[in-house]
C-alpha cells in the first residue's frame, strides 16, 4: 500500500446561496483541522440562515475526528432549528469513509 501524502491543510469557505450558507471544505478533515471546521459550522448555524449546506466534494481525507465533527454539526443544527444537509456530491475519500463507518444513516443529504 502506498503511503498517504502529508496533511493537506483544510480550507473552509462560507458562501451565501439564497437563504442558505454553503460551507465548502477543501483538503483534509482530520484531527488537525476538525476544531476549526466545527467552529466555522457553529458560526454558520448561529448566523440566522435558514439552511446550512456542507460541500465535501473536495475533501481529500477524513478521519474519525472529521466524522465526529459532522455528527456534532448535525446535532447542533437540530438544537438551532436550522435546516442542515450535506451535498450528495462527495469525494471518493468521504464516500468510502461513510460506507465503512455506517455514518450515512445518521446524516442528511441534499441535492
Higher pLDDT, 27 or 1: 27
**Domains of the chain: residue spans and CATH:** 11-110 (3.30.750.24)
- Tell me how far the alpha carbon of residue 58 is from its chain's centroid: 10
- What are the pLDDT digits (tens) for 16-34? 988 899 999 999 999 999 9
- What are the pLDDT digits (tens) for 33-74? 999 999 999 999 999 889 999 999 999 999 999 999 999 999
Give pLDDT, residue 40.
95
Give the integer Cα–Cα distance in Å for 46 and 67: 21
- Other residues' Cβ atoms within 10 Å of the Cβ of residue 107: 16
Amino acid at each position: 500500500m502506498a503511503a498517504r501524502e502529508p496533511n493537506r491543510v483544510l480550507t473552509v469557505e462560507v458562501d451565501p446561496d439564497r437563504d442558505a450558507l454553503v460551507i465548502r471544505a477543501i483538503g483534509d478533515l482530520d484531527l488537525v483541522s476538525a476544531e476549526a471546521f466545527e467552529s466555522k459550522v457553529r458560526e454558520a448555524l448561529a448566523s440566522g440562515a435558514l439552511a446550512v449546506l456542507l460541500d465535501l466534494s473536495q475533501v481529500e481525507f477524513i478521519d474519525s475526528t472529521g466524522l465526529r465533527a459532522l455528527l456534532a454539526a448535525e446535532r447542533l443544527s437540530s438544537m438551532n432549528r436550522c435546516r442542515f444537509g450535506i451535498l450528495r456530491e462527495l469525494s471518493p475519500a468521504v464516500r468510502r469513509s461513510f460506507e465503512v463507518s455506517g455514518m450515512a444513516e445518521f446524516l442528511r443529504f441534499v441535492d
